[in-house]
């Protein structure tokens, strides 16, 4: 007689010190996140198979050393037979896997639980006692800067802290560090939030949370803007002290209203206008707090001046908004106003975020390669009155038409890059037909930015800003946004250091300088 199949109840695995031994886990993806998941589970004693589209690379080699096994999935539409034979108790998915992936559909049909890396990290966060508090950050634009700001301010105040998650450092690497942390500031993408449960032992209970803003992004992945917004709203679930929302973005307020939070949690607004008694904002050039002090109905606490923010590269409207949001998060964690003020003075903006590359012939060259969606690009464009705009890449199902229409009056010209240029060119034809438009028709990555810079230099005039703010992802032609930004910066320096090119290009739909 066949022996009955023993099914492990993974819902009981709510601690590093639970019984993970022998648990059969399939990990999807062997990128930075997937490897951290596999490494953690193997340390816990689980039996781990990693599914990857590639069978080579440093992490693949390391996987065998630490005791994991690899299943290569050359065709993402075909369920690997080795995975079916493995018969996992649990699937842990890397953030980029779409919900309709064949393995995930098979897991759901088979009743196999699916976790994301954040759920696993929350369950095992108590490896080092006491477990760190979590502050969680999401939004269409500004996540990384706000995460870095909050972590910097906490560190300045003497807290052992780290900026982790979608920022590039897996949360699981942080929770396993033997020295431990007081606070983790966790940047969460909409992909990670999609896989996070809202209740149960795997649901995150952060000290404070923020959704900075909501604009169309990753609609091809989520399927609709409603699904995208719903995923972002998960950030507020179970928050204990403060749900921070954007006073200028009603959607974020509605997400707070819909969230199930812990008793006593407050809704705290942030913005660039005069704040109410539970908000942080700006009055007469001062960043002030009317939320986290005893007499907030009658007085405000000064945190910084806008002049001080400009001195450290945080003076543009979208950067200042990130500062106010980060200040709200750390004030919720008990950081003093003085520590916020002094910490801001020593902060430096990350590369590829509205970063000045060069200034020559009264033309400023700016790298905002991290503007990977229209919302981020709009914030960047709004900072400058006259722009030669480098735009394009992987659009992710988003229409850039409204962005083009909103900023056409400030555009000297536009240079369209990326393999998916047709949507951008069509948007200019509809909404800004008089703006001079150039296309970079280069297939080799190494030639894209030199040609884009050459075209931009030929049309830019004194007082202009040549701005790389692509409003699109980079993976069509570059490794990531940092690679794209570095390529732009190198091309600018090469161009300015050489003799230049006097060729006068003919734009699509206009003439240089029109």
Going by C-beta distance under 8 Å and a sequence separation of 6 or more, which residues neighbour residue 468? 366, 367, 368, 369, 390, 484, 485, 488
Residues 415 and 460: beta-carbon distance below 8 Å: no
Residues 487 and 418: beta-carbon distance below 8 Å: no
Structure tokens at 372: 């990977």
Residue 287 β-bridge partners: 282, 304
Ligand-binding annotation for 140, yes or no, is yes
Which SS3 state, helix, strand or coil, does residue 473 take?
Answer: strand
- The string over 74-95, giving b where at least 16 C-beta atoms fall within 10 Å of a residue's C-beta and e elsewhere, is eeeeebbeebeebebbbbbbbb
Report, in this order, helix, strand and coil percent for the chain, each rounded to 5: 35, 20, 45
Maximum Cα–Cα distance for the chain, whole Å?
A: 85
Residues 371 and 484: beta-carbon distance below 8 Å: no
Ligand-binding annotation for 141, yes or no, is yes
Ligand-binding annotation for 144, yes or no, is yes
Ligand-binding annotation for 145, yes or no, is yes
Residue 468 β-bridge partners: 367, 390
Structure tokens at 76: 């993402």
Nearest to 261 by CA among 238, 290, 232, 227: 238
Distance between CA atoms of residues 47 and 69, nearest Å: 9
Distance between CA atoms of residues 308 and 314, nearest Å: 8
Going by C-beta distance under 8 Å and a sequence separation of 6 or more, which residues neighbour residue 426? none
| DSSP conformation class of 362 | T
Ligand-binding annotation for 139, yes or no, is yes
Q: Which residues are annotated as a binding site?
A: 139-145
Q: Which residues are annotated as a binding site for ATP?
A: 139-145
């Amino acid at each position: 007689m066949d022996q009955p199949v023993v099914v492990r109840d993974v819902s009981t695995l709510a601690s590093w010190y639970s019984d993970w031994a022998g648990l059969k886990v399939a990990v999807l993806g062997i990128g930075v996140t997937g490897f951290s998941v596999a490494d953690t589970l193997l340390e816990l004693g689980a039996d781990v198979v990693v599914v990857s589209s590639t069978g080579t690379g440093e992490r693949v080699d390391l996987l065998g050393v630490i005791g994991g096994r690899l299943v290569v999935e050359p065709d993402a539409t075909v369920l690997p037979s080795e995975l079916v034979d493995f018969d996992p108790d649990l699937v842990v998915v890397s953030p980029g896997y779409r919900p309709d992936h064949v393995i995930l559909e098979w897991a759901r049909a088979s009743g196999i639980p699916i976790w994301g890396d954040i759920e696993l990290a929350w369950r095992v966060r108590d490896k080092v006692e006491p477990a760190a508090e979590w502050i969680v950050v999401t939004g269409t634009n500004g996540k990384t800067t706000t995460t870095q700001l909050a972590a910097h301010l906490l560190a300045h105040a003497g807290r052992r802290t780290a900026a982790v998650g979608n920022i590039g450092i897996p949360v699981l690497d942080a929770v396993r560090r033997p020295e431990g942390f007081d606070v983790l500031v966790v940047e969460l993408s909409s992909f990670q939030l999609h896989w996070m449960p809202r209740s149960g032992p795997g649901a995150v209970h952060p000290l404070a949370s923020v959704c900075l803003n909501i604009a169309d992004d990753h609609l091809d992945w989520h399927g609709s803007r409603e699904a995208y917004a719903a995923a972002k709203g998960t950030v507020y679930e179970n928050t204990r002290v403060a749900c921070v929302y954007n006073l200028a973005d009603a959607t974020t307020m509605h997400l707070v209203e819909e969230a199930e939070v812990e008793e006593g949690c407050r809704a705290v607004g942030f913005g660039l206008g005069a704040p109410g008694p539970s908000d942080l904002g700006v009055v007469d050039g001062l960043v002030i707090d009317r939320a986290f002090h005893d007499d907030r109905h009658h007085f405000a606490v000064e945190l910084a001046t806008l002049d001080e923010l400009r001195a450290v590269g945080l003076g543009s409207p979208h950067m200042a908004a990130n500062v106010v949001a980060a200040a709200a998060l750390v004030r919720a964690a008990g950081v003093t106003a003085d520590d916020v003020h002094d910490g801001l003075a020593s902060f430096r903006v990350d590369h590829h975020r509205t970063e000045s590359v060069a200034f020559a012939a009264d033309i400023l060259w700016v790298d905002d390669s991290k503007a990977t969606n229209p919302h981020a690009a709009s914030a960047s464009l709004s900072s400058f009155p006259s722009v030669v705009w480098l735009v394009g890449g992987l659009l992710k199902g988003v229409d850039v038409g409204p962005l083009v229409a909103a900023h056409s009056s400030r555009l000297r010209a536009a240079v369209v890059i990326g393999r998916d240029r047709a949507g951008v060119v069509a948007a200019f034809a509809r909404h800004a037909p008089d703006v001079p438009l150039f296309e970079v028709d280069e297939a080799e990555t190494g030639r894209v930015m030199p040609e884009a810079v050459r075209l931009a230099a030929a049309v830019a005039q004194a007082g202009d800003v040549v701005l790389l703010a692509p409003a699109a992802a980079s993976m069509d032609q570059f490794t990531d946004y940092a690679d794209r930004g570095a390529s732009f910066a190198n091309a600018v320096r090469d161009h300015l250091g050489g003799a230049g090119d006097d060729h006068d290009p003919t734009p699509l739909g206009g003439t240089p300088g029109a």
